[in-house]
Structure 1
Amino acid sequence: MKELFTYINNISPISEDTFQELAQLFKPIQLKKNEFFVRDGEYAQHIGFLKKGIVRAFFLNQEGKEYTKQFFMDSSIIGAYTSLLTKKPNKIAQQALTDCEILIANFNEIEERYSKFHDLERLGRKIAEYYFLEKEQKELEMALLDADKRYLILREKFPTIETIIPQYHIASYLGISPTQLSRIRRKLSSS
Structure 2
Amino acid sequence: MNLKSFFDAVSPISDTTWEEIEPLFRKEHLAQHDHFTKTNETATRIAFLESGIVRAYFTNREGKEYNKQFFVAPTVIGAYTSLLKGSPNLIAQQAMTDCIIWTINYNEITNRYNAFPDLERLSRKMAEYYFLEKEKKELDIVLLNAAERYQIFQKEFPGIEQHITQYHVASYLGISPIQLSRIRHPKEEK
TM-score, normalization by structure 1: 0.96
Q: Deviations over 1:144-166 (max 9, x none)?
A: 00000100111011111111111
Trace 1:31-180 onto structure 2 (pairs within 5 A): 31-180=30-179
What secondary structure, in the 3-state scheme, does the structure 2 residue paired with 1:43 have? coil
Per-residue deviation, 1:59: 0.1
What secondary structure, in the 3-state scheme, does the structure 1 residue paired with 2:24 have? coil
What secondary structure, in the 3-state scheme, does the structure 1 residue paired with 2:186 have? helix
Q: Deviations over 1:99-142 (max 9, x none)?
A: 00000000000111101000001111111111000000000000
Per-residue deviation, 1:187: 2.0
Cα distance in 2 for residues equivalent to 1:10 and 1:63:
42
Q: How high is the sequence identity, in percent, across the aligned residues? A: 56
Cα distance in 2 for residues equivalent to 1:183 and 1:151:
11
How many residues are paired up?
Answer: 189
**Structure 2, unaligned runs of 5 or more:** none
Per-residue deviation, 1:28: 0.3
Cα distance in 2 for residues equivalent to 1:74 and 1:129:
19
Cα distance in 2 for residues equivalent to 1:20 and 1:131:
26
**Structure 1, unaligned runs of 5 or more:** none
Q: Deviations over 1:47-81 (max 9, x none)?
A: 00000000000001121111100000110100000
Runs of 4+ with >3 A deviation: none
What secondary structure, in the 3-state scheme, does the structure 1 residue paired with 2:5 have? helix
What secondary structure, in the 3-state scheme, does the structure 2 residue paired with 1:71 have? strand
Per-residue deviation, 1:184: 0.1
Cα distance in 2 for residues equivalent to 1:105 and 1:37:
12
Per-residue deviation, 1:10: 1.0
- Aligned-residue Cα RMSD (Å) equals 1.2
